[in-house]
Amino acid sequence: MHRFPRFQPIDLSAYAPETAASRTFYGLPRHVAFCRRCVISNQRPNSAVEFKHTRDTAKATINFDEEGVCDACG
């Protein structure tokens, strides 16, 4: 029988609803939007040369027109 080590409690305070300053990763936009036709998210990055991408560069993501339709549908 294996004995598992005691795990430290997980700090969930970063995920509380009242936390105003949420962090974004991988250069993706903070505001999430969805296409009105195909419901693709603006969090889906376009093609990028990954070896040129750094932590501080913003990824090119799918754009939406003024009606909320993505480049692929429009």
Question: Do residues 36 and 68 make contact, with C-beta atoms less than 8 angstroms apart?
Answer: yes
Q: Is the pLDDT of residue 20 over 70?
A: no
Average of pLDDT values for 48-66? 75
User: Is there a domain that residue 21 lies in?
Assistant: no
Q: 9 pLDDT band (50/70/90 cuts)? A: confident
**Domain for residue 59, yes or no?**
yes
Range 66-73 average pLDDT: 90
């692929």: which residue's tokens? 72
In a domain, 1, yes or no: no
Number of domains in the chain: 1
pLDDT tens for 28-52 read 777 888 999 999 888 876 666 667 7
In a domain, 7, yes or no: no
| Range of the structural domain that residue 48 is part of | 26-74
Which residues lie below 8 Å from residue 36, measured CB to CB, with a gap of 6+? 67, 68, 69
Query: Is residue 16 assigned to a domain?
Result: no
